[in-house]
Every structure is written in structure tokens, then in C-alpha cells.
Structure 1
Amino acid sequence: MASLFGDVFLSRRASRFQTQTPWTPLPYSPWHETLWQFLATSSLVFGAWYVGWRWLGSVNYDALWFSIPLLLAETGAFFGLVLFTANLWSAKSPAPAPLPAGIRDCTDDPEMPDRPLSVDVFFATYSEDPELVRLGLKDAKRFTYPYPIDVKIHVLDDGKRPAMEAVAREEGVNYITRSDNVGFKAGNLRNAMTVTSGDFILICDADMQPFPTFLEETLGYFRDPKVAWVQTPHWFYDVPPGVPLPAALERWLGGAGRLLGKGFERIFGPVQIGEDPFANDPQLFFDVILRRRNWANASFCCGAGSIHRREAVMEAALRQWSDQVAAAAGRNEAAARRLTGEEAIAESIRDSMRWQGALEEEFQPYKFHVSEDIYTSIVLHSDRERGWKSVLHPKVQARMLSPNDLLSWTIQRFKYAGGTLDIMAHDNPLFRKGLTLPQKMMYASTFYSYLSPLWNIVFLFSPIIFLFSGIAPVAGYSLDFFIHIAPFLLLNELSQLVALWGNSNAKGRAWYLAMFPLNLQAMWAVVRGKKISFPVTPKDRQVGTYPRLVRWQIALVVLTAAGLIWGWSAFAAGVAGYSLGAMIANTVWGTSNMLSMLPMIRAAFWQPDPVYEAAIVEGATP
């Protein structure tokens, strides 16, 4: 029954959304970038002025237990804004060179004999529907390229399923499996690398359907012999598109509504009513955040949709393996000296220790880690001897399926958060030799963002504490307070609007706040040393609603609403501490917090259109 539901839902997605087209990358404009940089710098200057004033002139010494945590939270959030500004500083990106006609065009070795390029296409799968994988295999067989090229497609099946092998055979592609599942996806990729030999490796998830132009859009970058990989954006073609705001307002208000909607979108960017309830649209991340790391050579790999130079992956892995062997031999030699009391160890014994260390250290082209993609990026970026480069190509070159229920979404995001925090705790790139300062800043921005619940939880509960107690975390909500905070908030909002022109960040901000329980859970798992698992994100919609996944968000909304009633009642009664300025500030603050919780709460109870589901089950055409 579950399989039938999965097939039906897959059919619904494919038939309903197959005609959707991806976004067009934002064009680069030096004038636009200059305006953004001016506004961003102004925002940081006024932000520093505000934070400095908060520490020096607004501490509530009668309630340090409340005032200091908020001060630390504001300071932590401001530091995150500095990193985010550095991330978005420049949108300049390398342009792809003419497509290479042969392998000699992709190397600086004059002795390399020329021949057609060879590409291995890996479809990594474990438990996904074989018919879903078939869609991607069919599309990969349609790759176009203006020169002779050797493309081999491989199904990497960690599920060892006869049905998956049959699909691979029917599609005329290679089927690769292994006797164990060590390392999960990373181990699956490593195993495939040992039995393939292509110059480049294209990594596809089970649900990925590459466009025919994928190789034509990406291989030009590899004319630079230092380019190690090219990442393309993820695009979820099954995301409900919604109705444009002008059209929605026109239904209610006629022509005036359409004009109002167009005016709003000119200022704040496109708004869709009834769109994806899970904030799955990745344009903001790929077209703005990751793309703007190209200037620092710090765009990291996101797994699916990336194409890698095999030489770079293997060479970086060999160097890391060699360093691990040398370190292990050093530890063993020190232990032997302590045990024997000798000041030096004979060379023959030292060689034996190195050999033993080489046998014990496992060679891993892809790190056995839940976030093997970003881990591999860090290893390659830190190889200063070769100076490997990465590129985020802004144009979408594949379609994928999105998490379509809150349970699947939570599994995926916990994996992202836990994996990233685990790297930060155990192999922090900020302390890794080889990375440049700009690269460290870009990685710091990523890792620091996952610490956000440490200050977000303070921001979420501060207005509640005030509304129920009348105790303010600042010395007073005076005119001086508003004079310091207003310019910073205004300039920050303007700079974000310019930086993200054409992209709405409203939903992203809401989910950034609402994810605090999930990120705290991931943080706690890493602190306890709990291994972050490798669960496969479900591709079929899971049946049911998930109120338990948003219980903290619901509790926060209820507490804030109750606090607003209590606070305004106290203000009306003239209770000390409940001044008009304090009530206005905390009402705006608390209301904003509640609104930020609502999208995630709505997602927990969201159900697909039952009429449409019924039509699909009955075989009707959508």
C-alpha cells in the first residue's frame, strides 16, 4: 500500500510540475553592487554604533540576569551579520571558457596526449523507487556536446536490489554495488571511483534529472587546470508555484489590486500566494549566497548537481591520507619512546611503524561523513600546493524532488545542521592550514549560522519575559533607544533588499527563527558526541500531520499572545514598568516572532489538494 501511494504521488508530482521552468540567474551589475556595498557598509557602521551604545549606555543594572543575555545575543547576531555581509560582498564570478575539445584543453601538461574527454555519471541510490531513478538515467542519456566525448552512466546501488539492477540493464547503463554499506553515500562514491576511470565525475542523487545541456554548461570551466569542481544549483521542480501577488489581489480588488500588487513587488520582490509551504525554493541560497562566494574561491560542493575533476579528488585524498599516516606514525613513535625509555627509535622500526600506519589509515576520496560534500570542499580548498578552485555555475542544469512533508524536511535539515556542526567541532576549517582568509570567512559564515539558536532563543523569549514581568532588558525604552536602533534596522533592511533584489527573504527569515528547536537538537547531539546518522531523505510524501514537530513553535505563539494580553492589560491599569515605548517595542517584537513561527506550524498540517490526489488515483488527467 505504501509503495502504491508512493507511485501515485510520484506520478502526481511528475505530471503536475514537469512543465515548470527554473529561475533565470540574476544578472551582474557593477552599479547595483556598488549601491549594495554602500548600504551594507552604512548598516554595519550604524550597527556597531548601536551595539556599542547598548554595552556602554543601556544596560539595566537592576536586571543583569536579563540584560546581559540579550546583550550577548545582539552582539552575536551582529557578528553573524558582518560575516553575512562579507559573504555577499561581490557577485563577480568566473565566466566559462570555450568548451574543451579534448583532455589536453583541461590540463597544463604539454606532454598529455590528446583524446576525447571522458565523464562518469554517478547516480547514488539506496532505497529510492527504481522507476524514479530511471527518469534520471533517461535524461543523462540525452547529454549533448559539440565534440566527441565518452560518457558512461553508472547506478551506484547500496540497496543491492534486483529491481534496480533490472532498470539499469533495461536502460543500458552500468550497475555497481558492493558487499557492505560502509561510509554510506561517501563509501558508495568511493567504491564507484575504484572501478571507473573518467576524467570527470558528475554526481547525481536518485531523484535528479539532469538537463541535456549539463556538460555544455559546465565543462568550459575546466579549461582552467586548477578548477576542481563546478556546482550547479538545485532546483525543485515540484514546488507549488502559487499565484503572483498582483493576480491574487486582482481577484479581490480588481484593477486597483493588480496595481497595488505590482507596486509592492517592485519594492520587495516577487510574492507568490499559496506557494511551497516548506520554504524549499533554493534560489536565494544558490543564486545569491553560494554564488557570491565565487569571488573568494569558496563556493562549496552541495553533492548532487556537481561535476568533479577526478585528479583533484584523488590527489587531495592521497595528500590527506599521507598526512594522517605521518601523524599516526609520529604518535606511535612517541608512545614507543615512552615505553622503552629510548631517546630515539631505529630507522627500521620507524619504517615499520609508518607501514603499519599506512595499513590502518583508510584511503577515502570522499570523507566518510554525513556532510561528505562540504568536507571534500574543505580538503580541496586547503590544498595550497595545487591551489584548487571551485565554481558555482548560476544556471540551473537539473531538476530534483523536494521534501514534501515536514517529517522529510526535518530529516534533511537535521542532517545538514548536525553534519556541519560536527565538522566545526572536530575538523574546524578555521584552524586548517592552507585556507585563505577570505575562504575561512566564507566557511565561518556557514558554520556560524548553525549557532543561531543560541541567540535566537533569547530574541524569541525576551518579549515574553517583559510582557509578563514588566522587567525591561534595557535601561529604558526612551527616545535615545529608538534613535540608536532605528537607523541600523532601516539601513539593514534596505541593504538586504538591494542585495537580494528579485528574491524575497521573508520566508527564509521566518524559518531561520522557527528552526531553533531543530538546530538546538543538532547542537546538543554534537556536544554529546552522538554520531550524526545518514538517513535518506524520503522522496515520497509521508502521510499525516506533524504537530509534535512544531510543539515548541506553537507554545511560543501561545505564550507571546498571552503575554501581549497581559502586558496591555497592565499598561491600561498603570502598572509600573509598562510604559508606552516599552509596550510598542515589545508588541512589534513579539508579533514579528509569532508571525515567524506560523509558516512552519502551517507546514506541519499542510496537505496536498485532495481533489487533485483523487483525480490522479482515478486516472484522470490533471
Structure 2
Amino acid sequence: MVQYLVALAPTFLVAAFFLIFVQGWSRYQTWARTVTCAIVFAVAVRYLWWRLTDTVLPYPDDGLDFYWVWFLYGIELLAFFDITLFLIIMSRYVDRSAQADALASDFFRRPRQELPTVDVFIPTYNEPLDVLERTIIGALGLHYPGEKLKVYVLDDQRRDWLRRFCEEKGAIHVTRPDNAHAKAGNMNNGLTVSDGEFVAVFDADFVAHRNFLRRTLPFFTDPSIGIVQTPQHFFNRDPVQINLGLERSWPDEQRLFFDEMAASRDAWDISFCCGSCSITRRAALEAIGGFPTESITEDLLTTLTMLNKGYKTRYLNERLSIGLAAENLKGYFVQRQRWCQGGIQTLFVHNGPLRGPGLSLFQRIMFLPVSWLVQYFVRLAILIVPAMYFWTGYPPLFFTEAGDLVSHQLPVLVAYFLLMHWITPTRYLPVVSSAVGAFSTFRML
């Protein structure tokens, strides 16, 4: 009994730290985040050192199982690297709402004729009228002087009925002879027929709130700001929520990124454009030659290319639009495959994190698609370890005793789960989030 209490002591210490100290701290304070993330990092390092010295190095070199043990330790190191980047990002936080209030007070005090001109781009391909109508009407209804605002519907399917609808509502219908470079090419064509000082982009299934421009435009008072991104919220449930029957207890999958991670990235000056629900300085777009076409995720590459030129992206974490989430599993996977492929593509382009000029070492590391490259291999390894053991007898490690495992592995799990519960309340459920990750693993690999 005493032996097991000693083994559980590190876990009790971790739990006590969170329950006595962390639960009383504000998760919006950077110092509190930094201390908490550092403790979790230290617990993880302790575990990895024990894994190496007690469960890997002692394993005898007597067959394929020796390489299997080392392979799994390498997988754990990859997971540790991914989690370390996550802890670094989440160790800071910034809320730009108060700054938006202060900037807006001065920005909109100027005479109406001195306000900048804004073009709203709505790129579309095959969306039906009942989807497009909301988006177009919402853009036309933005709270901004009418003579300073133009709405461009960029139609890559060249539909006559959409042209007539735009003429009726007062939007500008734009087509081009081909669909070269997909969405990026469509928006670049829009740049050639428009001249607004700023360009706001809304996907065809997103509706802007009336105050979108009044909250975002003032940030451009700083000439170094190239893009202001806002979160994407959805009025329908995604297919994972529906299939698991968790519509009320688990938010849509993207809330962890948009509500938590994006604001933390902004605190580090590594926020990036997510395409829809953003607004961009035209001068910055002209400086980079328009929207980049080298990657299918032109939004991420736009951010990187602007960083090459010294521009920054700001993130305003306010609900300023609402749209449609993927409505079925096919759309869910198409969307995530696009993000994954686009992230990996940035490794091979001249303006990406590896070769792009003007990026600091920190920015290069933080824009590497580490999560896309690592998470699915890690999850696959987790899934096949039990099968490998029962089929071949190959153990995942040199086993010492249960007390050692409890003493070193359990504190890591408890520390990570308690951190996520504190830093991202309601956005992360351990079992459900792991199930969703496993569900995506084979398709994404």
C-alpha cells in the first residue's frame, strides 16, 4: 500500500498544484499561462527522461522488437515536440477588444469623406441562391457609408441568374474566362476590377454582422498591419457533433482554434489569415503581387508572404460573422484534407516558412505544419500498439514495474488534461477529442 502511495505522489502533487493555485488564476493572464504551461512541460520532460533511461536503453538488442521499442519512443518524441509548440503558443494570450474600442473611437471621429474605401469580395462557385442571398444581403447591409463600400460577387460558374440577382440588389457581379488557380485566381481577378483601399473576404456561406467593418478597420491605423482576421462561427452543427449526439455538450471542432489558439498566436505575432471573415490592406496585397497561387490554402500563404514584407496579421476574437460548417462527412474530410495539403505545400514554396525571406527563426518554427505531419502518425501508433503486442508479443517498452509507470506516466496525463480543462474550458473533452482524432486518422494519412 505504501509503495502505491509513493508511486501516486507525483500525480497528487500535480493535481494539488492545479486545484490549489491554478483554479484561482485567470486564464487570460499571460503570467498564469506561462507558469502553468512550464509546469506541464517539466512533468513531460521528467516522463520522457524516465522512458529513455528506464524503458528504452535497457531493452536488449536481440531482434526486431528492439527497433520497435525505439520506433515507439521516436513517435513519443514527435508528439512531445508537437505538444511543446502548443504549450509555447498557449503560454500567452491577448484580447484585442479593448484596443478595438479605443481605435474605433478615433477612427470614426474623422469626417465621412475621409473614411477609406472598402471592397467586399464574395468568391463563389456552385452555391445555391438560398446560401448566397444571405451572404450578399449581409455584405450590402454593413454599417458603413454606402459611397465608400462596394460588394463584388466573384462568380466562377458564370451564372446568369446570379448576375440578375446582383443587379437587382446592388452588388457587382464579376466573372472571368477561366477558373485558373481556383479561389486565389478568382480573388486576384477581383482585384483587377476593384480599387478599394481595403478588401474584406467572406466565403459564399458566411454572413457578416453589421458592425464587422467598424470593429476591424480601425486596426489599420497601424501601417504595419496587413490583415485583420476574425473567428468563424457556425449556425449549424458539424457532422461529428451530430453523429456522436453531442450537440449540446461539445462545441464544434473549430472552437479550440478560433476561441483559444488564434488569440494566443496573435499574442506572439504569429496569427494567420483563415480566408473568410478577414479584411486585408490592398497596399499589402499589391506589395506581394496579389493573393498567392502556389498553395491551395492561399490564406495561410498570404500571411507568410506578407510577413516576408514586414506586414503583420491581427486577430480580433469577436463574433462578427456566422456561416455554415461542413454539413456531411464528405465535406468535413474535403475541408480538412485541403488544410492539411495546403499546410504541407508551404514547405516547398519560395515564400514559405523554410525559404521565405524576412522571417525570424521563431516564426519559421511556428509556421511549420508540425501538427499535420505528426498527429496522425502518433494516433496510428497508439492504435496499433495493443494489436502489435497481442499478435507478436513485442512490448512497447522495457517494463520495470507498475509503480514506475504510475509514477511517471500518470502525472503527464493528469497535468495535460487539467491544463486543457483550465485553459480551454468546454473546448476539449479528453475521450471525445481523442475519438474524433482517431476517426480522422486513416483518411487523413
Q: TM-score range by the shorter chain?
A: 0.7 to 0.9
The question of 1:371 aligning with 2:297 is answered yes
> For residue 570 of structure 1, what is the aligned residue in structure 2?
none
Which among 427, 437, 444 is matched to residue 512 of structure 1?
437
Gaps of 5+ in 1: 1-27, 106-113, 244-271, 318-363, 521-622
> For residue 20 of structure 2, what is the aligned residue in structure 1?
none
Q: How far apart in 2 are the matches of 1:131 and 1:300?
A: 30
The 8 Å contact of residues 291 and 392 in structure 1, kept in 2 or not, is answered as yes
The 8 Å contact of residues 231 and 306 in structure 1, kept in 2 or not, is answered as yes
Q: How far apart in 2 are the matches of 1:482 and 1:419?
A: 40
Alignment-mate amino acid for residue 199 of structure 2 = I
> For residue 355 of structure 1, what is the aligned residue in structure 2?
none
Q: How far apart in 2 are the matches of 1:465 and 1:430?
A: 37
The 8 Å contact of residues 144 and 213 in structure 1, kept in 2 or not, is answered as yes
Q: 1:162 to 1:224 in 2, by over 3 A?
A: same
The 8 Å contact of residues 98 and 220 in structure 1, kept in 2 or not, is answered as yes
Q: 1:388 to 1:502 in 2, by over 3 A?
A: same
Q: 1:101 to 1:170 in 2, by over 3 A?
A: farther
Q: How far apart in 2 are the matches of 1:76 and 1:240?
A: 30
Q: 1:278 to 1:412 in 2, by over 3 A?
A: farther
Q: How far apart in 1 are the matches of 2:311 and 2:122?
A: 25
Q: CA deviation at 1:115?
A: 2.6
> For residue 225 of structure 1, what is the aligned residue in structure 2?
223
The question of 1:99 aligning with 2:71 is answered no
Per-residue CA deviation, residues 559-586 of structure 1 (Å, 9 max, x unaligned), is xxxxxxxxxxxxxxxxxxxxxxxxxxxx
Q: 1:435 to 1:421 in 2, by over 3 A?
A: same
Alignment-mate amino acid for residue 54 of structure 1 = R
> For residue 158 of structure 1, what is the aligned residue in structure 2?
156
Q: CA deviation at 1:58?
A: 0.7
Q: 1:102 to 1:67 in 2, by over 3 A?
A: closer
Structure having the higher Rg: 1
The question of 1:304 aligning with 2:276 is answered yes
Per-residue CA deviation, residues 408-454 of structure 1 (Å, 9 max, x unaligned), is 1111111111111122244540343211233223213x444433222
SS in 1 for 2:114: coil
Which among 437, 441, 452 is matched to residue 365 of structure 2?
441
Q: CA deviation at 1:226?
A: 1.1
> For residue 332 of structure 2, what is the aligned residue in structure 1?
409
> For residue 475 of structure 1, what is the aligned residue in structure 2?
398
Q: How far apart in 2 are the matches of 1:519 and 1:242?
A: 15
Q: How far apart in 2 are the matches of 1:228 and 1:93?
A: 19
The 8 Å contact of residues 39 and 491 in structure 1, kept in 2 or not, is answered as no
SS in 2 for 1:430: coil
Which among 203, 206, 209 is matched to residue 208 of structure 1?
206
Which among 150, 155, 170 is matched to residue 168 of structure 2?
170
Equivalent positions of 1:73-222 (< 5 A) are: 73-94=75-96, 95-96=99-100, 97-99=102-104, 115-145=114-144, 150-222=148-220
The 8 Å contact of residues 26 and 32 in structure 2, kept in 1 or not, is answered as no
Which among 250, 258, 282 is matched to residue 286 of structure 1?
258
Alignment-mate amino acid for residue 185 of structure 1 = K
Q: How far apart in 2 are the matches of 1:98 and 1:415?
A: 36
Q: How far apart in 2 are the matches of 1:134 and 1:240?
A: 22
The 8 Å contact of residues 298 and 381 in structure 1, kept in 2 or not, is answered as no
Q: 1:482 to 1:281 in 2, by over 3 A?
A: closer
> For residue 236 of structure 1, what is the aligned residue in structure 2?
234
Q: CA deviation at 1:133?
A: 0.8
Q: How far apart in 1 are the matches of 2:116 and 2:444?
A: 43
Which among 305, 309, 316 is matched to residue 288 of structure 2?
316
> For residue 338 of structure 1, what is the aligned residue in structure 2?
none
Q: 1:34 to 1:103 in 2, by over 3 A?
A: closer
The question of 1:36 aligning with 2:33 is answered yes
Alignment-mate amino acid for residue 514 of structure 1 = F
> For residue 460 of structure 1, what is the aligned residue in structure 2?
383
Q: CA deviation at 1:92?
A: 2.0
Q: CA deviation at 1:512?
A: 2.5
Q: 1:30 to 1:437 in 2, by over 3 A?
A: farther
SS in 1 for 2:117: strand
Q: How far apart in 2 are the matches of 1:475 and 1:412?
A: 41
Per-residue CA deviation, residues 494-527 of structure 1 (Å, 9 max, x unaligned), is 222222134234444332333222221xxxxxxx
Q: CA deviation at 1:88?
A: 0.9
> For residue 487 of structure 1, what is the aligned residue in structure 2?
411
The 8 Å contact of residues 32 and 498 in structure 1, kept in 2 or not, is answered as no
> For residue 555 of structure 1, what is the aligned residue in structure 2?
none
The 8 Å contact of residues 291 and 298 in structure 2, kept in 1 or not, is answered as no
The 8 Å contact of residues 238 and 326 in structure 2, kept in 1 or not, is answered as no
Q: How far apart in 1 are the matches of 2:367 and 2:256?
A: 18
> For residue 396 of structure 1, what is the aligned residue in structure 2?
319
Alignment-mate amino acid for residue 311 of structure 2 = W
Gaps of 5+ in 2: 1-24
SS in 1 for 2:354: helix
When structure 1 is superposed on structure 2, of 372-381 and 491-500 the one drifting more is 491-500
Q: CA deviation at 1:103?
A: 10
Per-residue CA deviation, residues 185-211 of structure 1 (Å, 9 max, x unaligned), is 100000010110001101011111111
SS in 2 for 1:451: helix
Aligned-pair Cα RMSD in Å = 2.8
Q: How far apart in 1 are the matches of 2:139 and 2:108?
A: 21
Q: How far apart in 2 are the matches of 1:39 and 1:413?
A: 31
SS in 1 for 2:359: coil
Q: 1:375 to 1:499 in 2, by over 3 A?
A: same
Alignment-mate amino acid for residue 78 of structure 1 = F
The 8 Å contact of residues 158 and 178 in structure 1, kept in 2 or not, is answered as yes
User: In the comparison of the two structures, how many residue pairs are matched?
Assistant: 407
SS in 2 for 1:458: helix
Q: CA deviation at 1:231?
A: 0.6
Q: How far apart in 1 are the matches of 2:121 and 2:105?
A: 22
Q: How far apart in 2 are the matches of 1:191 and 1:103?
A: 31
